[in-house]
Structure 1
Amino acid sequence: MENYDSSSSGYLVGIFMMLFSIPALIVWIISVAGMWKVYEKAGKPGWASIIPIYNVIVMLEIIGKPMIWLLLLLVPCVNIYIGIVMINLLSKSYGQSEGFTVGLIFLPFIFYPVLGFGNYRYLGPAGAGFAGHNPFDPGATYKDPFNPPPPPQQ
């Protein structure tokens, strides 16, 4: 090879990495700040959202699910389903619909800050029993499909 200078390609890679890593870092910080506020609104420590594994344990407390779900997250393919269900239950815990769940899954850097810094209120684990879930039926109550109500006593 004639007159090939590898340092010029190194500069280009460095510039390319800087141009993409700085916006990625900003998006990550915004997401972490949103999750921090979501945890605080639920009465949990905000710093718990940045500690691996412990953040899942606290999330299970927020959505009202047993710790066995932590083991389910270790099972391949099952973890994807359980993760989506957990995000949906988090959305429900703040009185939001499945559309908000889709936003939390695909655009977390937008929807977690909206949930954390917005006027949304934590309604309890999975928002069970809150009124006004359906805007067309203000008297409707949310029914959690994973925790059906007990049968009536006789």
Structure 2
Amino acid sequence: MSSSSVLGIAPLQSDATTGVSVVFLLILLALTAVIIAGGWKMLAKAGEPGWGVIVPIYNTYLFFKIGGNSGWWLLALFVPLVNLYALYRMSSGISEAFGQGAGFTVGLFLLPGIFHAILGFGDYRYRGRPN
């Protein structure tokens, strides 16, 4: 018997639980790296600084900008329900700027990090800000 069992103290985690936690953390870090790298490449394709993807609020401003929206739309994100329209508008603008349609807009709205990576790593070209 271990000393912790004798004292009635249970170990915090078993070795198996720790192993699963480490694997989960590594997968999460890899997914995060792919999302950041994809967003970086997407911004670079649009002629914006790629490092902007890692700066909170500034990245959203850049996403509005490449989608042909004013930076003032950032303020709309603080208004309930209006924020959903602002995010849709941002997603739609990015989709149109890369020559994609409504399906891609829905993807950008629901899973933005994944779809930013698809735009960044894919053969998509930035065609300019939509009007």
TM-score, normalised relative to structure 1: 0.70
Matched AA of 1:93: A
Deviations 1:84-111 (A, max 9, x none): 2211210111000111122334444543
> What stretches of structure 1 of length at least 5 have no aligned partner?
129-154
Q: Structure 1 CA distance, aligned partners of 2:78 and 2:14?
A: 39
Q: Aligned Cα RMSD in Å? A: 2.2
Q: Could you tell me which of 41, 65, 81 is aligned with 2:45?
A: 41
- Contact 1:91/1:100 (<8 A) preserved: yes
Q: Which residue in 2 is equivalent to 1:88?
A: 92
The DSSP-based 3-state class of the residue aligned with 2:13 is: helix
Q: How many residue pairs are counted as aligned between the two chains?
A: 126
| Map 1:69-84 → 2, pairs under 5 A | 69-84=73-88
Q: Structure 2 CA distance, aligned partners of 1:77 and 1:18?
A: 38
> What stretches of structure 2 of length at least 5 have no aligned partner?
none
Q: Whose helix proportion is higher, 1 or 2?
A: 2
Q: Which residue in 1 is equivalent to 2:67?
A: 63
Q: Percent identity?
A: 40
Q: Could you tell me which of 111, 117, 127 is aligned with 2:115?
A: 111
TM-score, normalised relative to structure 2: 0.81
Deviations 1:42-92 (A, max 9, x none): 100000111001111222221121122010011123222311221121011
Deviates more, 1:116-125 or 1:11-20: 11-20
Matched AA of 2:45: K
Q: Structure 2 CA distance, aligned partners of 1:99 and 1:81?
A: 17
Note closer, same or farther for the CA distance 1:110–1:66 as it changes in structure 2 (3 Å cut).
Answer: closer
